[in-house]
C-alpha cells in the first residue's frame, strides 16, 4: 500500500473478512445472563378502541404481561419539525397502545417470558377485546392533518396567467417496505447500582435512538448507554427506534432483568415504518419557447396512524425538491400529511427524493408531449447551470453539472432499438438532485504507542463501508498507509458526539470531520517534531517518511513511542450546509402486448457524488440503490385490504428482486466537487434509488404513448394501459 494517494482508490473492504468467516455479531447474537425474551400482542384491527385486556394465568415460563397502564409515565415519541412546517405533536406514536389502536400490527401489550417461544405462546393467550371502527385508508379522504408545509416564491399566479402552455399531471407512489435482511431488535440491561440502562440496538446510529429513548423514558441521556453492534442493513428504517424498543427498555426497568426482542419478518413487514405513500397534483407553466415559468404542486402524504420522530421528514424533503434540476423562477408548493389507519411512514432510501424526482421528471415528459418538443431538448432549455442556485422552494444547490450528467447518460443509453414483434418499447431519461450532508459530525484521532492511529467517528455504519472509507480519508491526510488506521464506532460511552447515519451524509460530514481531525493531528506532530529537532514549527515539512527539517527527520513511529509528552491526539467537529449530489439515469423497457409483462432491458446510471473516496464502494451503492428502485418499479408495494389489514405478510407477498431479475446496469461518474467541505465529497447512498425510478417510469410512459401508470408496473396495470391506448388510437382513427 502506498502511503499517499489513497483517496479515489477502490480498496476492497477491511470489514469483509470478519463477515465472510461468520465472525460478526448482529443483535440476535447478543446474549446476557438471565435474559428474558419479549413478544408483542398486536392489534389485528386498523381502527379500534380497546375495551378490555385479560392476562392469562398459569402459563409456562411467563414472567409478565405489560400494557400501557403498567408502563405509566412514558412520553410519546418526540417528533422532528422540518423547517417552516407545522406538526401536530399530539399525534405522536405511543409506546404501547393507549386505549385505542390506529393500525393493524400496532403493539398493544408486551409479554416477557423465559424464551422467545414461550413468550410467543403466552402472547397468543392474551385476550384483548376491541370495539372496531371504520378505518380511513386514503390520505385524500382523511380530515386529520398531522403535518403541513408550504413554500411560495415569485409571482406564481401572474406566471400562470401569462403562460403559453400549462401542463398538469397527477402522480402517486405506493407505500414501500425497507426490508433490511436483518430485522430490528434490542437487548436491554439495567445496572441498578449505577442506574445505567444499556441497550444494544440494531440501529443506524447511536445518537438518535439515545435521544429518542431519553425523551420517551424521561431519563437523563447520561443514564443511558447505546451500543450498535453489526447491523444487517437499514435503508432508513432504523433511524427511529421501534416502539417495541422503548417498551423493552421500560420493561427491563420494570422487571429488573435483561430483555431481548428480535423482530420477526412478519412484525417487520407490518409494524416497521414504511416509505413513500405520496401523491401529488402538479401544474407547470411554460412560455411559448418552452421555458419553465412556474410550478404549482399539491402534495399529499399518507402518514399512517401516528407520527414517529421522522415521519414529517420525507414529505417535506419531497416538497422542497420538486423543482429538481430545473431553473423555475416561481413556485407554490403545498404539502399536507394526513392520518390514515396504517403503520406510520418514515424515511426509506431516498426519503422524499425519489418522490420529487418521479413527479417532476414525469411532468417534464408530459410537458414535452403536450408541446410536441423533444424531451431532452426541453430539459436542456431549463437546466440549472449556475451555482450556487437557490430554488423557488428555498434550497441552495452548491454544485453540479446537470447537463454533463445528461449527456453522459444519453451516450451510454444510445438509440432505442426497434421493438420485437408483439412488444412495445420505450426509452426514458431522468435527472435528479439528492440532498445530502448537512448539519455536523465529529471525530477523534490518537496515535498510540503501538504506532497505530485510532479514529473514533461519530457516524457508525450499517453496511456502507465506513471503516474502509474513513481509513482512506485519514491515511491521505496523515500520509500513512490505511492499514495503520483503526476505526471505532457505535458505543455512546466512547463515541464522540454526532447526529447520525442517514441521508447520504456520512462521507460529507463525518468523513470531513475525520479529515480535519487528521489535519489537527498532523499539526500536533509538527509541533512535537519541531521540539525534537530544535527548529521552528514552520521549518518542518510533513511527508510520507515523517516530519523533516534540515536537522533531521522524526517519523510517526518515533512520535508514537516517545510517550513522555503523552499520546498525540486531536479532535474535530465539522459542520456545513447541505450538499447536493445529482445525476441522470436512463432506461429502455419492453412491454408484451398480449400480457402486459414489463421487461427492463437496460439501465444507465450517471451519478455526481463529487470527489469519490472509494469508487468500488460508491459503485456498490449506486447498483444497490438502482436495484431497489427497480424493485419499486416491478414488484414492491405494501398493499392493504378494505379493512386496513396489511397484505404484505411474508416475502412471498412482498417480493424483493432476485439476481435473476436484474438487467445489465451501466454506470458512469461525473465529479463536480462541492465547495462546502474539505473533501469535495457529496453523498452517494441514495442516488441510485432516486434516479432509476423516474427513468424507468418515463420509459414505461414512452412505451405506452404517454399513458401514465403508477408504479409498480405490474402486468395487469400495463395490459389495461395498452387496452386504453389502443382504444384511444382506434377512437383517433375513427374521428379523423
Partner 1 sequence: MRISVTINGTSFSDEVEPRTLLSDFIRHQAGLTGTHVGCEHGACGACTIQLDGQPVRSCLMLAVQASGRSLRTVEDLAGPNGRLSALQQAFTDHHALQCGFCTAGFLMSADALLRDRAGTHLTEAEVRRELAGNLCRCTGYEGIVAAVLSVADPPLAAE
| Of 57 and 660, CB closest to partner 1 | 660
By CB under 8 A, name the one of 52, 57, 288, 652 that touches partner 1: 652
Residue 546 binds partner 1, judged by CB under 8 A: no
* Complex with partner 1: residue 244 or 636, whichever CB lies closer: 636
**Least CB distance to partner 1 at residue 402 (A):** 25
* Rounded-to-integer distance, Cα 280 and Cα 170, Å: 6
Residues 583-622 that bind partner 1 (CB under 8 A): 616-617, 619-620
CA distance 175 to 160: 32
Report the run of H or E that residue 357 belongs to, with start and end. helix 353-371
Region 474-533 residues binding partner 1, contact defined as CB under 8 A:
none
Q: Which of 267, 277, 268, 271 lies closest to 300 in space, CA to CA?
A: 277
Select from 4, 24, 537, 562 the one that contacts partner 1 (CB under 8 A).
24
462 binds partner 1 (CB under 8 A): yes
Rounded CA separation 337/316 (Å): 9
Q: At what angle do helices 353-371 and 687-703 cross, to 10 degrees?
A: 30
Which residue in the block uniquely carries the three cell numbers 450517471? Answer: 606
Burial of 119 (0-12, 13-18, 19+ CB in 10 A): buried
Burial 615-633 (b: 16+ CB within 10 A, else e): bebbbbbbbbbbbbbbbbb
Stretch near partner 1 under the rule CB under 8 A, chosen from 125-133, 284-292, 335-343, 657-665: 657-665
Number of residues that bind partner 1 (CB under 8 A): 53
The reply on whether position 626 binds partner 1 by CB under 8 A is yes
Contacting range for partner 1; rule: CB under 8 A; set: 220-228, 292-300, 545-553, 648-656: 648-656
CA-wise closest residue to 238 among 74, 461, 390: 461
Q: Identify which of residues 101 and 648 has a Cβ nearer to partner 1 in the complex.
A: 648
In total, the chain counts a number of residues equal to: 736
Measured from the CB atom, the residue of 94 and 465 that comes closer to partner 1 is: 465
87 touches 79 (CB < 8 A) = yes
Q: Does 22 bind partner 1 (CB under 8 A)?
A: yes
Contact predicate 255/288, CB 8 Å = no
Interface residue with partner 1, options 44, 154, 221, 232 (CB under 8 A) = 232
In the complex, the smallest distance separating the C-beta of residue 651 from partner 1, rounded to whole angstroms, is: 4
Query: Which one of 182, 189, 279, 332 is in contact with partner 1 (CB under 8 A)?
Result: 182
User: In whole angstroms, how close is the CB of 233 to partner 1 at the nearest point?
Assistant: 4
Of 276-284, 363-371, 551-559, 651-659, which segment contacts partner 1 by CB under 8 A? 651-659
CB of 176 to partner 1, least distance (A): 12
CA distances from 697 to 377, 411, 416, 661, 670 (A): 19, 20, 16, 17, 23
Select from 135, 344, 463, 511 the one that contacts partner 1 (CB under 8 A): 463
Query: 117 vs 377, which CB is nearer to partner 1?
Result: 117
Q: Does 628 bind partner 1 (CB under 8 A)?
A: yes
Smallest CA-to-CA distance from 524 within 477, 482, 465 is with 477
Angle CA(390)–CA(391)–CA(392) in degrees, nearest 5? 125
Binding mask 142-181 for partner 1 (x = CB under 8 A): -------------------------------------xxx
Residue with cell 433490511: 180
Region from 151-159, 527-535, 647-655, 707-715 binding partner 1, contact rule CB under 8 A: 647-655
User: Contacting partner 1 (CB under 8 A), which of 28, 205, 361, 441?
Assistant: 28
Q: Is 550 in the site for partner 1 (CB under 8 A)?
A: no
**CB of 212 or CB of 626, closer to partner 1:** 626
- Name the minimum Å distance from CB 106 to partner 1: 22
List the one residue out of 401, 433, 436, 394 whose CA is nearest residue 577. Answer: 436
Which lies closer to partner 1 via its Cβ, residue 230 or residue 702? 230
> Does position 1 bind partner 1 by CB under 8 A?
no
| Site membership for partner 1, residue 469 (CB under 8 A) | no
Q: Provide the β-strand partners of residue 147.
A: 87, 337
Q: What is the 3-state secondary structure (H, E, C) of 217-260?
A: HCCCHHHEEEECCECCCCCCCCCCCCHHHHHHHHHHHHHCCCEE
**492: helix, strand or coil:** coil
Residue 634 binds partner 1, judged by CB under 8 A: no
3-state secondary structure of 407: helix
* Nearer to partner 1 among residue 80 and residue 655 (C-beta): 655
Residue 464 as a binder of partner 1 (CB under 8 A): the answer is: yes
Residue 127 per-residue DSSP state: E
Q: Does 656 bind partner 1 (CB under 8 A)?
A: yes
Distance CA 655, CA 632 (A): 10
Residues between 668 and 697 that touch partner 1 (CB under 8 A):
688
Residues 251-290 that bind partner 1 (CB under 8 A): 264-265
Contact (CB, 8 A) for 608 and 431: no
> H or E stretch including 121?
helix 116-124
Q: Is 16 in the site for partner 1 (CB under 8 A)?
A: yes
Specify the residue, 215 or 260, whose C-beta has the smaller distance to partner 1.
260
User: Using the rule CB under 8 A, is 580 a contact of partner 1?
Assistant: no
By the 10 Å C-beta count (0-12 exposed, 13-18 middle, 19+ buried), 550 is classed as exposed
Question: Coil, helix or strand for 97?
Answer: coil
Q: Which residues bind partner 1 (CB under 8 A)?
A: 12-13, 15-17, 19-26, 28-29, 117, 179-183, 230-233, 235, 264-265, 462-465, 616-617, 619-620, 623-628, 650-652, 656, 658-662, 665, 688
Amino acid at each position: 500500500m502506498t502511503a499517499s494517494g489513497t483517496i479515489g482508490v477502490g480498496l476492497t473492504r477491511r470489514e469483509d473478512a470478519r463477515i465472510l468467516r461468520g465472525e460478526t455479531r448482529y443483535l440476535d447474537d447478543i446474549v446476557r445472563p438471565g435474559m428474558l425474551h419479549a413478544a408483542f400482542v398486536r392489534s389485528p384491527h386498523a381502527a379500534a378502541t380497546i375495551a378490555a385486556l385479560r392476562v392469562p394465568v398459569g402459563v409456562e415460563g411467563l414472567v409478565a404481561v405489560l400494557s400501557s397502564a403498567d408502563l405509566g409515565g412514558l412520553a410519546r415519541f418526540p417528533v422532528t419539525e422540518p423547517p417552516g412546517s407545522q406538526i401536530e405533536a399530539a399525534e405522536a406514536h405511543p409506546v404501547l397502545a393507549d386505549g385505542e389502536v390506529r393500525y393493524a400490527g400496532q403493539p398493544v401489550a408486551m409479554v416477557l417470558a423465559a424464551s422467545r417461544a414461550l413468550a410467543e405462546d403466552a402472547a397468543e393467550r392474551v385476550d384483548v377485546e376491541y370495539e372496531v371502527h371504520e378505518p380511513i385508508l386514503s390520505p385524500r379522504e382523511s380530515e386529520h392533518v398531522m403535518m403541513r408545509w408550504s413554500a411560495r416564491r415569485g409571482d406564481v399566479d401572474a406566471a400562470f396567467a401569462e403562460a403559453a402552455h400549462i401542463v398538469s399531471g397527477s402522480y402517486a407512489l405506493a407505500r414501500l417496505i425497507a426490508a433490511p435482511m436483518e430485522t430490528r431488535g434490542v437487548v436491554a440491561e439495567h445496572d441498578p447500582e449505577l442506574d445505567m440502562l444499556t441497550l444494544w440496538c440494531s440501529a443506524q446510529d447511536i445518537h438518535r435512538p439515545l435521544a429518542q429513548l431519553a425523551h420517551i423514558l424521561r431519563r437523563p441521556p447520561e443514564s443511558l448507554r447505546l451500543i450498535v453492534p453489526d447491523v444487517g442493513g437499514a435503508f432508513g428504517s432504523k433511524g427511529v427506534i421501534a416502539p417495541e424498543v422503548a417498551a423493552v427498555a421500560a420493561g427491563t426497568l420494570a422487571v429488573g432483568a435483561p430483555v431481548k426482542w428480535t423482530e420477526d419478518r412478519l412484525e417487520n413487514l407490518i409494524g416497521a415504518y414504511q416509505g413513500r405513500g405520496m401523491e401529488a397534483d402538479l401544474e407547470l407553466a411554460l412560455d411559448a419557447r418552452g421555458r419553465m415559468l412556474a410550478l404549482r404542486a399539491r402534495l399529499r402524504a399518507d402518514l399512517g396512524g401516528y407520527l414517529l420522530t421522522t415521519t414529517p421528514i420525507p414529505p417535506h424533503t419531497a416538497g422542497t425538491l420538486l423543482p429538481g434540476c430545473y431553473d423555475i423562477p416561481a413556485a407554490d408548493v403545498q404539502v399536507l400529511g394526513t392520518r390514515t389507519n396504517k403503520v406510520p411512514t418514515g424515511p426509506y432510501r431516498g426519503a422524499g427524493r425519489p418522490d420529487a424526482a418521479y413527479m417532476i421528471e414525469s411532468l417534464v415528459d408530459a410537458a414535452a408531449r403536450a408541446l410536441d418538443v423533444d424531451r431532452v431538448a426541453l430539459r436542456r432549455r431549463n437546466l440549472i447551470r449556475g451555482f450556487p442556485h437557490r430554488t423557488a422552494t428555498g434550497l441552495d444547490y452548491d454544485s453540479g453539472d446537470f447537463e454533463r450528467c445528461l449527456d453522459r447518460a444519453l451516450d451510454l443509453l444510445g438509440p432505442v432499438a426497434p421493438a420485437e414483434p408483439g412488444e412495445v418499447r420505450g426509452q426514458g431519461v431522468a435527472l435528479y438532485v439528492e440532498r445530502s450532508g448537512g448539519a455536523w459530525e465529529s471525530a477523534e484521532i490518537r496515535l498510540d504507542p503501538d504506532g497505530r492511529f485510532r479514529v473514533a467517528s461519530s457516524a457508525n455504519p450499517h453496511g456502507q463501508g465506513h471503516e474502509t472509507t474513513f481509513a482512506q480519508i485519514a491515511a491521505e491526510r496523515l500520509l500513512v498507509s490505511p492499514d495503520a488506521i483503526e476505526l471505532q464506532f457505535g458505543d455512546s460511552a466512547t463515541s464522540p458526539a454526532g447526529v447520525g447515519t442517514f441521508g447520504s451524509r456520512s462521507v460529507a460530514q463525518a468523513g470531513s470531520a475525520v479529515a480535519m481531525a487528521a489535519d489537527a493531528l498532523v499539526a500536533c506532530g509538527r509541533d512535537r517534531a519541531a521540539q525534537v529537532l530544535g527548529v521552528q514549527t514552520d521549518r518542518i515539512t510533513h511527508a510520507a517518511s515523517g516530519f523533516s527539517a534540515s536537522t533531521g527527520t522524526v517519523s510517526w513511529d518515533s512520535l508514537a513511542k516517545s510517550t513522555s509528552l503523552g499520546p498525540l491526539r486531536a479532535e474535530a467537529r465539522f459542520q456545513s450546509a447541505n450538499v447536493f449530489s445529482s445525476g441522470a439515469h436512463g432506461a429502455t423497457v419492453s412491454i408484451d402486448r398480449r400480457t402486459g409483462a414489463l421487461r427492463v432491458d437496460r439501465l444507465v446510471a450517471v451519478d455526481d457524488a463529487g470527489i469519490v473516496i472509494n469508487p468500488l464502494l460508491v459503485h456498490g451503492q449506486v447498483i444497490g440503490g438502482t436495484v431497489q428502485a427497480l424493485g419499486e418499479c416491478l414488484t414492491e408495494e405494501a398493499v392493504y385490504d378494505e379493512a386496513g389489514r396489511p397484505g404484505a405478510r411474508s416475502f412471498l407477498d412482498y417480493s424483493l428482486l432476485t439476481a435473476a431479475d436484474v438487467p445489465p446496469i451501466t454506470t458512469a461518474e461525473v465529479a463536480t466537487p462541492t465547495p462546502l467541505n474539505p473533501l469535495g465529497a457529496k453523498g452517494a447512498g441514495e442516488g441510485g434509488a432516486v434516479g432509476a425510478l423516474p427513468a424507468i417510469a418515463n420509459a414505461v410512459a414512452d412505451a405506452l404513448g404517454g399513458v401514465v401508470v403508477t408504479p409498480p408496473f405490474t402486468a395487469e396495470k400495463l395490459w389495461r394501459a395498452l387496452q386504453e391506448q389502443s382504444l384511444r388510437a382506434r377512437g383517433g382513427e375513427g374521428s379523423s
